[in-house]
Structure 1
Amino acid sequence: MTARAPQFCSMAWAGRPVAIEHQWIEAGPSNGPLLVFLHEGLGSVSMWRDFPSRLCERLGWQGLVYSRPGYGQSTPRPLDEPLPPDFLERQALEVLPALLQALGVDGTRRPLWLLGHSDGGSIALIHAAHHTDSVAGLVVLAPHIMVEDVSVASIAQAREAYQTTDLRERLARHHRDPDSAFWGWNDVWLSPAFRDWSIEAMLPALTCPVLAVQGQDDEYGTLQQVFGIAAAAPHTTVEVFASCGHSPHKDQTERLLDLVTTFTGASSPNHANI
């Protein structure tokens, strides 16, 4: 077993101390590549299941999985504090750097790769565009670079499901405060202030190799999301999975494991500063 039990790291963010749930995967040397996993809008450490461990074992890399504030067992978001429209930018440019610093991770001294799903894919793209000296590569699964009508419609359906089905109970298995996790995500995505959100202008700043994967049947976005990345950052490889929805790591696990293994090997995990 390469995955340690989840731990907690205390750090200051948004004017208060927060505890961040995180898990190390010891599948590679401590001075080798590190793969950081960034979860979806309703994700957490536990919701990744065994995918991070399986991938890191295939790669022979260390892994770091964490739950953002408000998710998993990390400090919940106060219910009277809605997420701001720039919440993804704040996660990418404030929370992730603070966590890496608190854990002693220096991407200029070892290869740092980011793997993000959905909102986590957006966070990975934003972080890499602003930290070109420390990110060696990206794998983004069903990322968002803009808000589309299909995204808003599906998130509105999720609201209905949370209020009328057992979705809250299912999320409670993974989140210390499921209301904090759900309403923070749902309210901001459905807010008029978020409708014009876009990170397209940031994408030309990306300098590392990018693997962008999306399901043909993704209910939360069209393929313009991944092809938009490729149009702005030519060193992007796009892979579209047929018969696949919003979660390629769950819908087609083996294919994705093979693809990421091949991509990272071809891109070379070695870093210029090593």
Structure 2
Amino acid sequence: MKGRIIEVKGKNLYTEHDNLFEDRPTIVFLHDSLGSVQLYRDFPARLSETAQCNILAYDRLGYGKSFPMLTHERPVHYMELEADLLNDLLTEMDLDKVILFGHSDGGTIALITAAKYPERVKAVICEAGHIFVEEVTLKGVCEAWEAYKTTNLAERLQKYHGDKVDTLFKAWTETWTRDDYRSWNIEHLLKHITVPLLFIQGEADEYGTLDQVEKTVSQVSGYAEKYIIPGIGHTPHKEAPELILKKAAEFIGKFF
């Protein structure tokens, strides 16, 4: 995929876009709290080929090759702002038939975008997303912060994020563990999701329980199915890529 920087309302975002399949949807990949386009590795290209769809992957502001965040301090509703910026990016690129594939934070942003911009989003694949804060999530965040301070995690992440690592890591850990973030919840938006939804989660996810899945699929207004994988943790597309490719392509094939 060819990479380029696109300016969206004064913010520069790094994108990789392949438009190989005429009259087919575009799968938009949304990475997690420490992720990037590079960290998705070859998964987008493989799903593109399997599902015969176009693809767009981008680094959120402050991540990967996109421009840095000005500060690590985020508002409680930062993922709604991310959904708005994604809609602006899709407008800039003139993409209006998209399937969102989001992992973790990216999964949450996919759900919010589908709720707010139903005219553009045609389906959602949410992998290990969150709709409210759980103790297991906070435990995982705290353990990651400890690893950041005591191991070479920061050095490993610099390969993908350069000198933005410290800011983005604090943005994630400090936001999620703030007192005012405990009440964050997007369940009120779920009824506005009318497009088909596939929710994928590892049964051994260290950042969320199956309540996230059950409460999501039971509250959206459109078709919804869940895919729970025994023995798999927070990143099914890395831990069980063949299973996810097959399931995602089958789901897409039902509607497109």
2:80 match: 89
C-alpha separation in 1, matches of 2:119 and 2:69: 31
**RMSD (Å), alpha carbons:** 1.1
- Equivalent residue in structure 2 for 1:104, among 84, 88, 94: 94
C-alpha separation in 2, matches of 1:209 and 1:10: 30
Runs of 4+ in 1 over 6 A off after TM superposition: none
Deviation at 1:100, TM superposition (A): 1.1
Alpha-carbon contact 1:115-1:140 (below 8 Å) kept: yes
C-alpha separation in 2, matches of 1:49 and 1:228: 31
Local SS of the residue matching 1:207: coil
**Identity, % of aligned pairs?**
36
The code of the aligned residue for 2:77 comes to D
2:50 match: 58
C-alpha separation in 2, matches of 1:127 and 1:214: 20
The code of the aligned residue for 1:189 comes to W
2:130 match: 144
2:29 match: 37
Describe the superposition over 1:141-200 as per-residue Cα deviations: whole angstroms up to 9, x where unpaired: 001010000000110111111111000011101113111221111111111111110111
Alpha-carbon contact 2:87-2:117 (below 8 Å) kept: no
Describe the superposition over 1:73-114 as per-residue Cα deviations: whole angstroms up to 9, x where unpaired: 1111123x501111111101x210111122222x1xxx3110
C-alpha separation in 2, matches of 1:161 and 1:113: 34
1:187 match: 174
1:257 match: 245
- Equivalent residue in structure 2 for 1:11, among 8, 13, 29: 8
Question: What does 1:120-135 align with in structure 2 at a 5 Å threshold?
Answer: 120-135=106-121
Unaligned runs of 5+ in 2: none
- Equivalent residue in structure 1 for 2:38, among 42, 46, 57: 46
- Equivalent residue in structure 2 for 1:208, among 186, 195, 219: 195
C-alpha separation in 2, matches of 1:11 and 1:258: 34
Q: Report whether the alignment pairs 1:237 with 2:225.
A: yes
* Larger displacement relative to structure 2 (82-91 or 126-135): 126-135
C-alpha separation in 1, matches of 2:91 and 2:118: 17
Alpha-carbon contact 2:132-2:186 (below 8 Å) kept: yes
C-alpha separation in 2, matches of 1:47 and 1:89: 23
Local SS of the residue matching 1:124: helix
- Equivalent residue in structure 1 for 2:14, among 5, 21, 41: 21
1:248 match: 236
Local SS of the residue matching 1:244: coil
Alpha-carbon contact 1:27-1:56 (below 8 Å) kept: no
Question: What does 1:160-171 align with in structure 2 at a 5 Å threshold?
Answer: 160-171=146-157
Deviation at 1:259, TM superposition (A): 0.4
Alpha-carbon contact 2:108-2:130 (below 8 Å) kept: yes
The code of the aligned residue for 1:89 comes to E
The code of the aligned residue for 1:250 comes to K
Unaligned runs of 5+ in 1: 270-274
The code of the aligned residue for 1:57 comes to E
